[in-house]
Amino acid sequence: MGEMLNDIIKKEVLENLLSHKFLFIFILCSVLILFSIYIGASDYVESKRQHDANVSALNERMQPPSTVDFFFEWEGFRIYRPPQILRTVVAGVEDSAGRGSNPNKQHETSLTESKNGSNTIFTLFGSLDIMFAVKFILSLFALFFAYDAVSGEKEKGTLKLMLANNLSRARLISGKIIGNYVSMLLLFLTPLLMGLVLLSVFPGISLNGGDWTRILFIFIMFLLYISVFFTLGIFVSALTTRSSTSFLILLFFWIALVIIVPGVSVIVAEHFRPVPASSLIVAQKSSFREQTLTNISTEYTPKMRELSAVTQQRQRELQPLAKEDPRRYQEEIMKVTEESRKLTLAREQETDDRISAYNAQLDRDYQLKKNARRNLAKNLSRISPASALTFGSMTLARTGTDEYDRFLETTRAYRWLYRKWSASLRMDTSLLSRPIDEISTTIPQFEFTPESFGESLMRTLPDFALMAAMVIIFLTGAYFAFLRYDVR
């Protein structure tokens, strides 16, 4: 019996390897995967070059800055988000996410200068990466590979002949599943391994052990995703009597699982978790800013008038000193005007603090609403293996929205530190008198810790579990469906 099972497996593998279908799909997979790797690697190298150029230019401007105003200008000190090297495999939101931010910006912190922001054509067509190829193209190929595994054999009359040779149905379906799956592995894994070889020798790409571990689990997720559609194909083929019927049913399921369910999930989430338009948030911030400026002016005007009267009186008293001792006169005048300068800076700082605190709270509330809608959409769409693949692979590659949000939150937290430091620089004239290169060394350090592999893996376990459960369900369904299959 064991030899008979091996014979069935060998028969399936040989028939597949010698078929025109296998050769056609293998060539297409190889071209698609290698081209995706080449495009992803090229984009990463270019993004890395631009990032290094921006950081280098910033360092040059700070060695030392020509003037202390550098630290207060919007285009002075900046933060640049480094590109993720695994965007070579899973692009995620890397091309649409912002890459630079200025912590001294008066309004809310955001990341700008995205690739798609300056080249809108990329937004129209999106990124071509291996995940895109696996999600849309290779999953279809898996269906092509399995849709006639049982129904096609019935149409040719070979099922009846094989079962007439004292072969149990359980062994027959097991042999066909294993043989076709081994053939599919050869079909898909070979181009993927070729792609890894290309990635490892590509100029400008340097992967460490952690990166290779992440790639391994991403490829396991790819394999699970393809297995879902392969086993679905076997299952439907074992329920139908004609391969054309099996193909139409599978095409319907593919469209539903890959395209319709993720799209409908977003629409449902938008309906049940509404988020105000960004223009409304901007209008609220603008209204609060105008009101705050009015309130601050009302609060500080009496103080400014009182201090102005005191200053003018003191200047009149010091007037005789202008001829007697001009140097001392200038020193005393500077002391008199120092209080006015400090009050003006205090007014500006309080204005900025109030506006920044309001904007930060508004941004937090807005982000919470966006996160609630996004989480609802993700949870609803996760019944689709395509969504599980998308979220899981982006998490492992650290190219998803979660990693971007982590970086943005770190940037916003750093903004408070930087603006507090720059405010102390303005208020304390003794600091301003220090050499500029010494001032540069006191800048608060920006530190961002990417998500560890363990954290990423824990967040992708539901995605792995969902696809594994689908594979088991479809395999079980195919097995029991074939036990009752009419081979006549």
The pLDDT tens digits of the residues spanning 126-172 come to 577 899 999 999 999 999 889 988 888 888 888 888 877 777 888 88
Rounded Cα distance, 72 and 68, in Å: 8
Instruction: Flag whether pLDDT at 42 surpasses 80.
Output: yes
Query: What is the DSSP code (8-state) at residue 82?
Result: P
The answer to whether residues 262 and 381 touch, using CB atoms and an 8 Å cutoff, is yes
Q: Which of 38-42, 105-109, 128-132, 411-415 has the least mean pLDDT?
A: 105-109
As a whole number of angstroms, the distance between CA 354 and CA 226 comes to 53
Beta-bridged to residue 381, according to DSSP, are none
Helices and strands in the chain: count of H runs, count of E runs? 20, 2
The closest of 1, 84, 140, 115 to 393, measured between CA atoms, is: 84
- Phi-psi sector, 262: left (phi>0), alpha (psi -120 to 50), beta: alpha
CA–CA dist 281, 285 (Å, integer): 6
Are 68 and 432 spatial neighbours (Cβ–Cβ below 8 Å)?
yes
Buried b (16+ CB within 10 A) or exposed e, 345-370: eebebebbebbbebbeebbeebbeeb
pLDDT at residue 62 greater than cutoff 60: yes
More confident residue, 446 or 360: 446
The structure tokens 């003006």 sit at 344
Q: Looking at the predicted structure, is the pLDDT value of residue 322 above 80?
A: no
Asked if residue 248 lies in contact with residue 262, where contact means CB atoms within 8 angstroms, the answer is no
Question: Treating both helix axes as pointing N-terminal to C-terminal, what angle do 169-201 and 209-237 enclose, rounded to 10 degrees?
Answer: 150
Mean pLDDT confidence for 104-116: 62
Per-residue DSSP letter, 69: G
Q: What percent of the chain has pLDDT over 70?
A: 89
- Please compute the mean of the pLDDT values over residues 324-335 and round it to a whole number: 73
For 109-132, what is the mean pLDDT? Answer: 64
| pLDDT range class, residue 41, cuts 50, 70, 90 | very high
* Total-model pTM: 0.83
Average the pLDDT over 102-108 and give the result. Answer: 65
Name the pLDDT band for 74 (thresholds 50, 70, 90).
low
Q: Which residues contact 466 (CB under 8 A, 6 or more apart)?
A: 382, 383, 385, 388
Q: How far apart are the first and last CA of the chain?
A: 24
φ, ψ dihedrals at 80, nearest 5°: -120, 130
DSSP helix/strand/coil, 62? coil
Domain locations in the chain as residue ranges: 1-273+387-488
Checking if the pLDDT of 77 tops 80, the result is: no
Q: Quick check: 46 pLDDT over 70?
A: yes
Rg (CA), the chain: 33
In sequence order, the β-bridge partners of residue 332 are none
- How many residues appear in the chain? 488
Quote the tokens at residue 277: 């338009």
* 281-296 pLDDT per residue, tens: 888 888 998 999 898 8
Band (pLDDT 50/70/90 cuts) for residue 313 is confident
- Distance separating alpha carbons of residues 246 and 237, to the nearest angstrom: 5
> What is the predicted pLDDT for the residue at 124?
46
Tokens of 117: 């922001």
Q: Please classify residue 274 by burial: count the beta carbons closer than 10 Å to its beta carbon, then call 0-12 exposed, 13-18 middle and 19+ buried.
A: exposed
What's the pLDDT at 68?
Answer: 66
Residues in contact with 228: Cβ distance below 8 Å, sequence separation at least 6, in sequence order: 139, 385, 467, 470, 471, 474
Among 437, 419, 439, CA closest to 429: 439
The pLDDT of 263-288, averaged and rounded, is 86
Contact between 405 and 39 under an 8 Å Cβ cutoff? The reply is no
3-class DSSP state for residue 442? coil
Give the integer Cα–Cα distance in Å for 472 and 477: 8
Whether 371 has a pLDDT exceeding 90, the answer reads: no
The string of pLDDT tens digits covering residues 404-437 is: 888 888 888 888 788 778 777 766 656 556 666 6
